[in-house]
Structure 1
């Protein structure tokens, strides 16, 4: 964890508690070039950023070039299993919950004296592109994410959930009383995948030919969910920095 100064304070509006902007981005296991990624995150305006599929080169670039903007950094590069958190606000605790083939990161941030739980989540799809089934492990991961969010509110989940909004994963989150920021405060479908082909090991020959070609995102699998003691003021898609996913941002306010 990299620590620095006190970070920028979130703004406060009449009738609401502190406001802050969050972002989630699957950076594509190296697809988003490190320099381009650092520039996009710097210009995003987000105070808290959750990353999935963070690789070593991306992690080194973010640690080296964004330490002033994001003095609190938890970077765990491991390719597909990698993750990270960048924050302008003090991180007072961090825990990694490992349930292979991926893991989740649970952090506590201090926003003007109020503790906020941030969960960076990346559960596997029930069925992977290799044909391998992760159904039981996916459900276990979502249950763990729900438990972490509901046991320590106010909470925000930043993640690539590998599921459309109508699938079981999102139904479980809604059933637990969690709220989808983009559904509440965004416009349009908010599709985030695929922007381009990802790094699929079983499709290396196709990747080499088509990797750079832009695609039309068709499905929303990247989300910002939160507990009911947080209000979503706005939600939108962020800048394409070269990944196969688009980032999602939301402006949130703690309820008083």
Structure 2
């Protein structure tokens, strides 16, 4: 019992620190970058010892820290899919890693999923190539692009613009789509990730690990602010809102909660399982997200297996509320 108490207390304390201090202190920010699988090791060791010594009652008690790990740190979701409707819209977001795996596996996955709205990151060259192929199959496909960010839509793109981050050269891409029911404002982003470094890029962000972490956290905060400002403008114009992309953040921490206070995370509301999107082989993190305004209902959200990138695509079926 004492061991279960200490294990459970450790997991709860760790979750609390990651929720409240990640992005605000470099130690906890880097700790949030550790794959959450690691934190089950003490419990796994106790379970192995219990099996070896046949301590069945002690093994049952290990269910408590195991559940805490699964739900608090691994982000396990248990949402059954809602019934499909005739007016659903399928949205997909994917960091295509510059198309390094080739165009064929990307197109194969996209054509299998058949999205109506497709947000791509690291797609400076690959995005227009995908658009060209899709438009040959269906001329309704339209494209908006700024740099590596691309939004493809079967619905008319009535407005598009780039959104500058206030304190860096980063940008987000915003497009207004005219759906049959109403207008949908879509923003796609690719936020920086924290690195141990030091690469040439890291050196430009700061000389020390603490400086680099602080700088990257500031850029990520700018990205969140840009997304929420866009959502506020969409709300004033009575438009539904969607933010999608590679946020490079697990579902923990102050920045994630800032988004969650105003928007609904698609996988957290209609996903089943862990939803890990990176890396495609090892399944270490859920860092690619789809966010919706409250006037949008998600019916089903999943992560699609693919060999087209080091990231896996996130797909959701949504319905706009009348």
Alpha-carbon distance in 2 for matches of 1:249, 1:150: 24
Are 2:223 and 1:141 equivalent residues in the alignment? yes
Give the 4+ runs in structure 1 shifted more than 4 A: 126-129
Change (3 A) 1:34 1:236: same
Deviation at 1:241, TM superposition (A): 3.7
Deviation at 1:40, TM superposition (A): 1.7
Change (3 A) 1:128 1:107: farther
Q: Report the aligned-residue RMSD.
A: 2.0
Higher helix share: 2
Gaps in structure 1 of 5+ consecutive residues:
1-11, 196-214
1:5-57: CA deviation from partner (whole Å, max 9, x where unpaired)? xxxxxxx949xxx420100000012324112212221221210000001132x
What is the aligned partner in structure 2 of residue 120 from structure 1?
188
1:112-140: CA deviation from partner (whole Å, max 9, x where unpaired)? 15111011111212557544332212101
- Quick one: which of 154, 175, 184 aligns to 1:88? 154
Alpha-carbon distance in 2 for matches of 1:239, 1:193: 11
Alpha-carbon distance in 1 for matches of 2:196, 2:180: 41
Are 2:245 and 1:159 equivalent residues in the alignment? yes
Alpha-carbon distance in 2 for matches of 1:216, 1:36: 19
* Stretch deviating more after TM superposition (113-122 or 246-255): 113-122
What is the aligned partner in structure 1 of residue 63 from structure 2?
none
- Quick one: which of 139, 150, 153 aligns to 2:232? 150
Change (3 A) 1:92 1:241: farther
Contact 1:31 1:244 in 2 (8 A): no
* Stretch deviating more after TM superposition (93-102 or 116-125): 93-102
Alpha-carbon distance in 1 for matches of 2:90, 2:189: 18
- Quick one: which of 236, 253, 256 aligns to 2:319? 253
TM-score (norm 1): 0.78
Gaps in structure 2 of 5+ consecutive residues:
1-83, 206-211
- Quick one: which of 190, 203, 218 aligns to 2:275? 190
Aligned length: 217
1:145-195: CA deviation from partner (whole Å, max 9, x where unpaired)? 1110232041011111010001232111012x2100111101001000112
What is the aligned partner in structure 1 of residue 265 from structure 2?
180
- Quick one: which of 143, 154, 178 aligns to 1:110? 178
Contact 2:88 2:317 in 1 (8 A): yes
Deviation at 1:109, TM superposition (A): 0.4
